[in-house]
Amino acid sequence: MTKKEYSFSSKTVRFYFDASIVSIGQATGDKPVIILTDENVYENHRAQLDLYPVIRILPGEENKTPATAGQVIEQLITMGAGRDAMLVGVGGGVVTDIAGYVAAVYMRGISFGFVPTSILAMTDAAIGGKNGVDVGVYKNMVGTIRQPDFIFYDYSFLKTLPVSEWVNGFAEVIKHACIKDAVLFSMLERYTLHEYQSDPTLVAELIERNVDIKASVVSADEFETGDRKLLNFGHTIGHAIENLHHIPHGHAVSIGMVAACNLSEQLGHLHFEEAARIVRLLARYHLPVDVDTDHARVFEVLKMDKKRKDDAMQFIILNKIGSASVVSIPLTELEKHFKEIL
């Protein structure tokens, strides 16, 4: 097990890599721990989880709702959890989001930590402090920014991760490469999903490199006034189609990144050959690169995005692989390009 720390405005978060859940006590200290997980993770790992009181939720983005958060809060009350309790979210992005959100509001805030169990949660969702729930088709419409005490990486959880979830997670990995790390992009071009799945050392290195990208960006700009916005690459259109089409987050982000690349190309920022390399890389990792959709409906949802400012959208465009920037695009102009880019 190795330990690394990243500092944020309100606290320093401890990251434990290559750890085993049996040693979680080293991260939680002597606080009374309550685990929040989902039925799938519980089914596969109950022997380790049952050492603590466990709250289980139904898996899937459709359950990342205010109602589920309410049920978790009721169970905390039934269990008699006090202000000294620590809520530990063991699962993918839905679990870590609900755990962080509930911990922020229960009794006006209790401690929390994460054990991310999917590629997506390990490289992205568990890191950054933004935790919340969806309201209807509107993704992450309600939430908080509050950092966990720790994030604990036990790579053995990946042994039971379905291949569809590996694919899902690689969308965020490719996003990190596109906006910040051209060397990572070339590495991803050399390997295959199967090689990452079957080589624990390779995947551990990949995860730790992605943690460093995400945690460094957030630690420099926690409240998203600058560079953190770049992490939204592919997410503006991605979020708009995700809940409308009921597709996995990674699929939506992949399609959103292709649309953002098309727009970057149309606006004269990105060379078409670089855009083509990105589409090829997404396809190499079995991610979808287009969708048959109702453009007018998607645009209606998109207009409610948190990145809208008056009549313009703060949109992340790519200049080249490894470099992105924020541009403000009037909604009328975005609408003009919309059918050609998506």
**Which residues of the chain form contacts with ligand GLY (CB under 6 A)?**
125, 128-131
Closest CA to 45 of 118, 138, 119, 96: 118
Give the shortest CB-268-to-ligand GLY separation in angstroms: 30
Q: Which is nearer to ligand GLY, 130 or 180 (CB)?
A: 130
Give the shortest CB-253-to-ligand GLY separation in angstroms: 13
Closest CB to ligand GLY: residue number: 128
Q: Which amino acid is at 334?
A: L
Give Cα 295 distance to the centre of its chain. Answer: 25
How many other CB atoms are found less than 10 A from the CB of residue 12?
Answer: 11
Q: Which residues contact 199 (CB under 8 A, 6 or more apart)?
A: none
Q: Which is nearer to ligand GLY, 21 or 125 (CB)?
A: 125
Give the shortest CB-257-to-ligand GLY separation in angstroms: 16
Between CA 341 and CA 338 the distance in angstroms is 5
Could you tell me if 253 and 235 are in contact, meaning their C-beta atoms sit under 8 angstroms apart? yes
Q: Which is nearer to ligand GLY, 235 or 251 (CB)?
A: 235
34: enclosing H helix or E strand: strand 33-38
Active site members: 108, 130, 172, 214, 224, 228, 232, 235, 239, 249
Give the shortest CB-42-to-ligand GLY separation in angstroms: 22
Give Cα 58 distance to the centre of its chain. Answer: 19
Q: Which is nearer to ligand GLY, 19 or 98 (CB)?
A: 98
